[in-house]
Structure 1
Amino acid sequence: MGHLLALAGLLLANTLTANEAETAPKPNVIIIFADDLGDGDLGVQGHERFKTPNLDRMAADGIRLTDFYVTTPFCAPSRAALLTGRYPFRNGMTRNPHPLGDLGRSQADEFGLSPNELTLAEVFKQSGYSTTCVGKWHLGHKPRFFPSKQGFDEYFGILYSNDMHPVELFEGDKRIEYPVYQPTLTKRYTQRAVDFIKRHREQPFFLYFAHAMPHKPLAASEDFYKKTGTGLYGDVIAEVDWSVGQVLDTVDKLGLSEKTLIIFTSDNGPWYGGSTGGLRGMKGINWEGGIRVPFIARWTGKIPAGRVSSVPTVSVDIFPTCLQAADIPLPKGVPLDGTSLLPLLTSDVAPEERPIFGEKNGHIYSVRQGRWKLFVRWPGQRREANLKPVERWLDPRRPDGVRIIAPYEQAQPSEYPGLTSGDTFKGIALFDLRNDPGEQKNVAGQHPDIVERLKAQIDAIQQSVAEEKSRRSPTGSSLEK
């Protein structure tokens, strides 16, 4: 009932007269979501070897947020948070769904984002937008979890990570290709995204463009493979940057730049071969290197060019930001965890300082507020490896059990993307990110008052989630469609 009422309220609120519609054109919204791209992987973020002229241009024409976080250091929960505006411990998407054969499983996983969760695509669709998802989904690979059930008119992509078996390409709800030759993915995804923009130039649209790269197995097309001189990872980054340039150029050539908000970010930190930009840790770990990612936004005429902000922000903010940009009211009866960043993006008006939580597998690991970051669980550490020259790093999942789908040697564990030094701890740790962005020195003992204040923030949001669960329907869903 709650979900139906939320959608009905949106429909009523967005029913405009003809005259109102003429004076209130809806902007387009494009979200480009890279996979496993680190905070230091872009030229504009300080990488000295990777060249990303299109993303650098996008930042020069818009705003870059230096302290932007995702909610979790890995794939599916991060995607669910972006599309719902709710932390995974609230929306229930706390882990990755695994298809048949992945990690030695004999049966496919039945897990996915509850169809009762309200997505950004559903809100846009109810508001008269055309919606499409291009690329990685990873919010459930059973038909009841498909993008078409979550507000998307069109879909073209792989339903989970590109290292999970079987690697199948879907169009809508139908499998159209198996196995997928991954060196062509970025180009094909880009072609679909550009085609969608061209077909819907005369009406408001929402494009969610979720790249497969630079998630392993890394793969680049012939135009980029071994062309950059920076290794396969650098080739892949260059092709993702090219893809962003194609989207920007298409929007500009169609005269849509002043009515299109474009956001670029990543789902979590980097894997081996990438760069955290000097932060500690990597993908899969709640150190800064696993959860702090690039964020660039461009909206010609609305977002002043060349701005940089260090205000801490988080991916659940994207949901309310996009709705405010489109002048769509927030859905009633849906507890959101994010706050709109539109005043920050357009007018440098920062949101009120609030806690930003880092979680993993449904557990809160950290909370940041202002300069301080508190850990209440040890975030872990992936291993480094000193491989002999004759050895290769082999992913035990081997993307496809029979066929080679990405015929390139992958990045090695010796190519660790972030810092591995720093204090270890059991229980509690506090870091001053203003003076210690690499999280090297635990200062919890010097600031017991700050520790208690941040612990209280964790208690408060856990209480909020518990209260929402107590109001759930008998089926266990927090919302009803």
Structure 2
Amino acid sequence: MSRRPNILFILADDLGQGDVSCFNPDAGWTTRHMDSLAAEGMQFTDSHATSSLCTPSRYSALTGRYNWRSRLKRSVLPGDSAALIEKDRLTLPLFLRAEGYRTAVVGKWHLGLDWQLKSGGDELMLSGPGAGDHQESPHRMGRNGNFDPGFPGHAEGLDIDYAKPVTFGPREVGFDYSFITAASLDQPPYVYLENGLPLGVPSVLGGDHTRLDRRTANHQQAIQKGPMVEGYDVRQVAPDFQAKALTILDDLLAGEDPWFLYVPSHLVHGPIIPNLPWQGRSGHGPYGDFVLQFDDYVGQLVGRIDEAGAREDTIVIVTSDNGASGVANLPSLKAQGHDPSNGWRGHKSDIWEGGHREPFIVRWPKTIEAGSVSSYIVSHSDLFATVAEVLDVPLPETAAEDSVSNLPLWTGNRAPVRTDVVSHSGGGGFAIRREEWKLEFVTTGDGMDQRFEEAQGGKPTEYRAAQLYHLGEDPGETHNLIDDHPEIVDELSELLASHIRRGRSTPGAEQRNQPNPPSGRWRQIDWMEDADRVVANCL
């Protein structure tokens, strides 16, 4: 039997499709390493994260399941949250480990960790007041199985016993080795974790703002206040993790077994502080410089593989978790002629295409024709089924319920592998796409801009079939045809309702969605006639 391929999966943070120059000829800079990878492999122009936010899209990439089936129905996890991935769920790394792969993750986790918690109130001494001044809700998000952002904690990470290892994290999800931060570059707790053990005990309260503006560039180089190990330097995170990833990659390349290395980079999420060698490189400000720093990271990882003679035996995948963030300073970039969304409407957290249409590049010289381009719909959730077909190993019906193999596209088949794809906004709203028709079950973009407008007294989002666009004729989603094609609205509404009811969008036995504790409410599906029954059927 021929050697099974290695897999390098690089996931950028908040990188827009228009930030990669092989997808956007009008980009303000040239991403030469990603462009080179695309020239040696295949780029997908209609590739989608399952959500326009990071925690949910990462969940789908590792499970092959739409994120909204989990307990997290909207938003993202706080950095100190318990684990989101279900304890009994087969994940891509667990699957690969069972097939003899060495598995490792180096980077941003943001899928929750089952931390061991302190029992007393001394954990709050970092912020001055005693325990009585910080009474947390018993339904606090990220604790006791609750994942509803309507119950936020007062201060993230103050109740954790950092001297003890997490009890459920990357290892239990399938990674033999892990070197991670719990969440984003700007989120506490500020401590590295290696193989589930925090590398130090936070002793100071670091950061700039208790409430960080993640909608605009007002806090572009700031971080949220929270527990921090002494000496922690947010500017050193990217080089630290890059060095570790290269070390782990060298070790994997030196072994005999096939391997899976997942590199969820902290770049290009805020705080946007490019390291010194990259400052000023793009000519378009810190964000452009940060993108070029990420591009160089990609080049170094791929270069190590090629130098080791493993080019032919390694699948390299590069994509992003969601669209570009407002922290990038989108108005300034637009004024300079650069569009991170590549002409698509919206950006991170929005239901519109700019929120979830991502750059996606795959290189596998043994199988993929160099310089090829696919315009067929694919989803990040498809990675699991694709790898399973590459290995010719069937998946159980209880796994990868929304994953469709892309291998036929990799081998040059010129026919769609998906009939439809479901997208999800930061506020939890739905959209379904079939061919060029896209139906959105929100009256707004349902992202961070909308949350800001609502906080200023604006009209709240309604969750119903409200926007219909033909992307082939209207890629900017500016001409709402909701009243012109009632038959398409009905067809797509029923198709999405079926996907939700069945607990899967692929053939197979029906599965159940997870509930939304503590309330059990799932108002984003209230448009369904049988919404109450669907909620009642959740586990």
* Structure 1 and Structure 2 fold alike (TM over 0.5): yes
Correspondence 1:144-155 to 2 at 5 A: 144-155=167-178
Answer whether contact 2:62 2:92 (CA < 8 A) is retained.
yes
Q: Which residue of 2 aligns with 1:367?
A: 432
Distance in 2, Cα, partners of 1:185 & 1:335: 32
Task: Structure 2: give runs of 5+ residues left out of the alignment.
Answer: 115-165, 201-228, 331-339, 451-461, 505-509, 521-536
Corresponding letter in the other structure for 2:103: T
1:185 to 229, 237, 242: 237
Distance in 2, Cα, partners of 1:351 & 1:464: 23
Correspondence 1:253-268 to 2 at 5 A: 253-268=307-322
Alpha-carbon distance change, 128 to 225 in structure 1, aligned in 2, over 3 angstroms: same
Correspondence 1:272-287 to 2 at 5 A: 272=326, 273=328, 275-287=340-352
Alpha-carbon distance change, 119 to 471 in structure 1, aligned in 2, over 3 angstroms: closer
Q: Which residue of 1 aligns with 2:197?
A: 174
Distance in 1, Cα, partners of 2:468 & 2:538: 36
Instruction: After TM superposition, give the deviation of residue 350 of structure 1 in Å.
Output: 3.0
Q: Which residue of 2 aligns with 1:242?
A: 296
Correspondence 1:78-117 to 2 at 5 A: 78-94=57-73, 95-99=75-79, 108-110=80-82, 112-117=84-89
Distance in 1, Cα, partners of 2:400 & 2:103: 23
Alpha-carbon displacement from aligned partner over 1:81-111 (angstroms, at most 9, x marks no partner): 0000000122434442213xxxxxxxx5445
- Which stretch shows the higher mean deviation, 273-282 or 306-315? 273-282
Alpha-carbon distance change, 479 to 149 in structure 1, aligned in 2, over 3 angstroms: farther
Corresponding letter in the other structure for 1:207: L
Answer whether contact 1:186 1:239 (CA < 8 A) is retained.
no
2:42 to 49, 57, 63: 63
Task: Structure 1: give runs of 5+ residues left out of the alignment.
Answer: 1-22, 100-107, 385-423
Q: Which residue of 2 aligns with 1:35?
A: 13
Answer whether contact 2:513 2:538 (CA < 8 A) is retained.
no
Corresponding letter in the other structure for 1:453: E
Answer whether contact 2:70 2:513 (CA < 8 A) is retained.
no
- SS state at 2:291 partner: helix
Would you say 1:432 and 2:470 are equivalent positions?
A: yes
Answer whether contact 1:76 1:93 (CA < 8 A) is retained.
no
Answer whether contact 1:228 1:234 (CA < 8 A) is retained.
yes
Answer whether contact 1:80 1:93 (CA < 8 A) is retained.
no
Distance in 2, Cα, partners of 1:276 & 1:461: 28
Correspondence 1:57-456 to 2 at 5 A: 57-94=36-73, 95-99=75-79, 108-110=80-82, 112-142=84-114, 143-176=166-199, 178=229, 180-201=232-253, 202-272=256-326, 273=328, 275-334=340-399, 336-360=401-425, 363-378=428-443, 379-380=445-446, 382-383=448-449, 427-456=465-494
Would you say 1:465 and 2:503 are equivalent positions?
A: yes
2:22 to 30, 44, 51: 44
- Which stretch shows the higher mean deviation, 239-248 or 326-335? 326-335
Corresponding letter in the other structure for 1:120: L
- SS state at 1:217 partner: coil
Alpha-carbon displacement from aligned partner over 1:412-451 (angstroms, at most 9, x marks no partner): xxxxxxxxxxxx9974211000011110101122221111
Corresponding letter in the other structure for 2:6: N
Corresponding letter in the other structure for 2:20: L
Corresponding letter in the other structure for 2:363: R
Count, aligned residues: 407
Give the TM-score normalised by structure 1. 0.79
Distance in 1, Cα, partners of 2:428 & 2:273: 33
- SS state at 1:344 partner: helix
Alpha-carbon distance change, 93 to 381 in structure 1, aligned in 2, over 3 angstroms: closer
- SS state at 1:149 partner: helix
Instruction: After TM superposition, give the deviation of residue 316 of structure 1 in Å.
Output: 0.7
Distance in 2, Cα, partners of 1:96 & 1:368: 23
Distance in 2, Cα, partners of 1:115 & 1:208: 20
Give the TM-score normalised by structure 2. 0.71
Q: Which residue of 2 aligns with 1:11?
A: none
Instruction: After TM superposition, give the deviation of residue 471 of structure 1 in Å.
Output: 11
Distance in 2, Cα, partners of 1:110 & 1:440: 40
Instruction: After TM superposition, give the deviation of residue 225 of structure 1 in Å.
Output: 2.1
Instruction: After TM superposition, give the deviation of residue 353 of structure 1 in Å.
Output: 4.1
Alpha-carbon displacement from aligned partner over 1:306-331 (angstroms, at most 9, x marks no partner): 11111111111111112222333323
Distance in 2, Cα, partners of 1:333 & 1:254: 38
Q: Which residue of 1 aligns with 2:216?
A: none
Corresponding letter in the other structure for 1:380: D
Alpha-carbon distance change, 138 to 253 in structure 1, aligned in 2, over 3 angstroms: same
- SS state at 1:294 partner: strand
Distance in 2, Cα, partners of 1:168 & 1:146: 15
Answer whether contact 1:90 1:465 (CA < 8 A) is retained.
yes
Alpha-carbon distance change, 479 to 347 in structure 1, aligned in 2, over 3 angstroms: farther
Distance in 2, Cα, partners of 1:109 & 1:261: 32
Q: Which residue of 2 aligns with 1:412?
A: none
- SS state at 1:98 partner: coil
Superposition misfits of 4+ residues, deviation over 6 angstroms: none
Instruction: After TM superposition, give the deviation of residue 54 of structure 1 in Å.
Output: 0.2
Alpha-carbon distance change, 354 to 131 in structure 1, aligned in 2, over 3 angstroms: same
Corresponding letter in the other structure for 1:318: L
Answer whether contact 2:63 2:400 (CA < 8 A) is retained.
no
- SS state at 1:246 partner: helix
Answer whether contact 1:268 1:291 (CA < 8 A) is retained.
yes
Distance in 2, Cα, partners of 1:39 & 1:27: 27
| Root mean square deviation, CA, Å | 2.6
Distance in 2, Cα, partners of 1:428 & 1:212: 35
- SS state at 1:212 partner: coil
Alpha-carbon distance change, 440 to 206 in structure 1, aligned in 2, over 3 angstroms: same
Corresponding letter in the other structure for 1:342: L
Answer whether contact 2:406 2:417 (CA < 8 A) is retained.
no
Answer whether contact 1:339 1:351 (CA < 8 A) is retained.
no
Distance in 1, Cα, partners of 2:538 & 2:305: 36
Alpha-carbon distance change, 356 to 456 in structure 1, aligned in 2, over 3 angstroms: same
Corresponding letter in the other structure for 1:98: P
Alpha-carbon distance change, 314 to 435 in structure 1, aligned in 2, over 3 angstroms: same
Answer whether contact 1:115 1:144 (CA < 8 A) is retained.
no
